[in-house]
Amino acid sequence: MKGVLKVLLVEDSDISATITKNMLQESRKYDYVEYIFELTHVYKLSEAMQALLEKYYDIILLDLNLPDSMGVQTLKLLCQYNPGIPIIILSSIDDFKLSYDTIKYGAQDYLVKGKYDMNMLIRSIYYSLERFNMLSALKQLALIDDLTGLFNRRAFMNLAEHQMKIAKRKNINVYILFCDLDGFKKINDNFGHPEGDIVLKEFADVLKESFRESDIIARYGGDEFIVLAVDVHENGQELVKNRLYQNLEKQNKNLKRPFNLTVSIGAVLHKPDSEETLYDLIDQVDALMYEQKKKKAMGIV
Q: Which residues are catalytically annotated?
A: 223
Residues near 296 by beta carbon (within 8 Å), at least 6 away in sequence:
182, 264
Distance (Å, whole) CA 162 – CA 177: 17
Residues 6+ apart with CB under 8 A from 194: none
Q: Collapsing DSSP states into helix, strand and coil, what is residue 30?
A: coil
Distance CA 66, CA 16 (A): 13
Q: Name residue 156's amino acid.
A: F
Cα 163 to Cα 52, 91, 207, 235, distances in angstroms: 14, 31, 19, 21
Sign of the torsion formed by the C-alpha atoms of 101, 105, 109 and 114: negative
Q: Is 76 left (phi over 0), alpha (psi -120 to 50) or beta?
A: alpha
Strand bridging mode 174-181 / 263-270: antiparallel
